[in-house]
Structure formats: C-alpha cells, structure tokens
Amino acid sequence: MKHSHIVGLGSYLPERVMTNHDLERMVDTSDTWIRERTGIERRHIIAEDQCTSDMAAEAARRALDDAGLDISAVDALMVATTTPDKIFPATATIVQAKLGGHGFPAWDIQAVCSGFVYGLAQADAMIRAGLFRRVLLVGAEAMSRIVDWSDRSTCVLFGDGAGAVLLEGRAQPGGVLGSVLHADGSYRDLLKADHPHPPASPDRKALDFGRDAAGIAAIEMRGNEVFRVAVTKLGEVVNEILQQHQLRKEDVDWLVPHQANIRIIQATAKKLGLSMDRVAQTVREHGNTSSASVPMALDALYRAGRLRQGQLLLLEAFAGGFAWGANLVRWSKQGETG
C-alpha cells in the first residue's frame, strides 16, 4: 500500500499589508482590542488586478520548486477555496493553465476554513487507492473580497493568501497517517456569506440582478456562538483521531491549527496539554485566511527549520457549515528548506 508523503511546500502572501492601525481609521475599533481578542496584528490584501488563482499558482510553484519537480510530474490538482475566480470553471483548472499543466484532473473543494484538511484527506485516500501518484493540493483565499468593511466584528479577522503541498505516494510508512472529517449543517446560519439570489423570472434584466448582488455576498458571523462550538468540536476531533490511531496526546509534537483566533488555538492546545511553543502560530501575521491558513502555518514551521524526521503533526480546522476535521502526519520530508 502507498503512503502519502509531503515532498514540497510553498506559500504566498500579497504585498499589501493592512495593520490594525489602518482599521482604526476605517471602523470603530482599536489595535489593542483586536490583538487581545484575536491575536491578529496585520493581514495581507490581494491587489486589485490579482485573483485567487494568481495566489494559488504562486504557492503551487513554490511547492513544486521545493520538491525539485515541475507541473509535468503532477497527476492531479486540487484547490480548496471559498473565493473562486468564477462561478465556473473551477479555479483549479485556471491554476493548472497558469502553471502550464495539461490533461490531468483538476477540481475545487469548498469546505471553507476546513478546505485544506478535507482536501488532504481526499488526496491521501486517492493516493492510497492507487489512483494518483502525485497530488498538488492548494488552499487559496481572497477573503477581503467577501468582507463587509463596515462591520467591525468581522472585517478585523480576515486576510488573503495561499499555501500548497505536493503529496507523493511512496511505499515506506509515514506521511499522512489518517484523517477525521465532520459537518453539521444545522449550524449553517451562525457563520455564512449568502450568495445573491438568481433572477425571479427570465424577464428580469441581468443588470437588475447585478445591482441586487452588490454587497450581498459578505461574511456574517455570530462570533460568541461560533467560538463555543468551535472549541468543543475541535477538542472532540483531536481526541477522536488520536484514539483511532492508538496515540496519546503526549505523542503530538506539533499542533498545526487553522489560524482563526488565538483564543481558539490556545484552547485546543490546552486540551492537548501542549505548550504554545509547540503550536504553529501565524495568525498574528495574516489573520484568518480560511483554507489557506493550515498549509501556510505548516510551511512557516518548515521554512523556519523546526520540523524533524519522525515528528507527529496534528492538523485541524473548523469552518462555517459547520465543517471541521483533523489530519495526523508523521513528518518524513527529506532535505533542507529552500
């Protein structure tokens, strides 16, 4: 049986930086309030002439370069995103073209902030089944384009970016050990961004539809309720995946969580009994980048030279839907960071 090993990593953040002090001039908030409640100090904002596929393609190029391979070595491409370039085609097909790839399957995953965790489980299953040898998995988001910048409760939280990993099937044990995924749609209204409704009839002009759409696709969140459920469900999924693999909390070397809020990250680390110096923490630098945050946090650990052969990594995320999940990874990547 093949095992899915991470052989390349890459990430990308847009050049423009928006600090908490910038937000102080936009809405009724403060740097102190944001830092104390979220841990965020700045976020990166996509340029007007960029789109999600541009960020995804750059992160993917860096992952391929890190692996010493090019796009011709890839058998499948998956992009986890909540902010696709278009309704269709899939952003993954656009990324494929920008990378110069042809012929192999490419598709999107929509599980919001859990998209990368869901995607890693899916890619691992396909590699284990022998369907693909190498899968390029990207999480990429332009969250700033669905933020209501007049809503001080949500606009401080989100930023843009992309992270990618190249997975390769190998005979030797290690790599992705397994995954646990969950969802519960009964919570769907606690965290959402509504899509504009279609025209009521064929007689309604497309121009009217466009006007109606303005400002509708914006994030809405009932923060306190989301926080309570997130902490509970993440604690449960951590226990579940460790029990499935007959591992103890003490066996975890690194927690690589979704970078949404420092308080949620701290609560999950506490349940694991992990000190915060064993937790990937990048939320301060880029805020909540949805499906991009887990691969970017993983890449940050890797680039800092903090990962060692044989270490056990626990990746986890919680998202609107609600959707949540976790992956266990036995670190096996060889070589120096690029």
Kindly write down the DSSP assignment for every residue of 233-268, as one continuous string.
HHHHHHHHHHHHTT--GGG--EEEE--S-HHHHHHH
183 shares a domain with 284: yes
pLDDT band at 207 (very low <50, low <70, confident <90, very high): very low
User: What is the tens place of the pLDDT at every residue in 51-96?
Assistant: 999 999 999 999 999 999 999 999 999 999 999 999 999 999 999 9
Per the CB < 8 A criterion, the answer to whether 291 and 114 are in contact is yes
CATH of the domain at 250: 3.40.47.10
59 shares a domain with 10: yes
Is this structure's pTM higher than 0.85?
yes
Last residue within a domain, chosen from 146, 174, 202? 174
The question of whether 113 is a catalytic residue gets the answer yes
Residue 204 has pLDDT above 50, yes or no: no
Instruction: Give burial (CB, 10 Å; 0-12/13-18/19+) of 247.
Output: middle
182 shares a domain with 147: no
155 shares a domain with 13: yes
Give me the pLDDT at residue 1, please.
Answer: 79
Last residue within a domain, chosen from 108, 142, 174? 174
Domain that holds residue 237: 177-187+219-330
Amino acid identity, position 216: I
Residue with tokens 């040898």, as numbered in its chain: 133
117 shares a domain with 26: yes
What are the φ/ψ torsions at residue 305 (nearest 5 degrees)?
Answer: 70, 30
Has residue 74 been placed in a domain?
yes
User: What is the tens place of the pLDDT at every residue in 222-242?
Assistant: 989 999 999 999 999 999 999
Catalytic residue among 5, 20, 261, 288: 288
181 shares a domain with 128: no
270 shares a domain with 224: yes
The question of whether 288 is a catalytic residue gets the answer yes
Has residue 337 been placed in a domain?
no
Give me the pLDDT at residue 2, please.
Answer: 92
The question of whether 51 is a catalytic residue gets the answer no
Domain count along the chain? 2
Catalytic residue among 3, 5, 113, 286: 113
Catalytic residue among 3, 5, 44, 258: 258
Residue 135 has pLDDT above 60, yes or no: yes
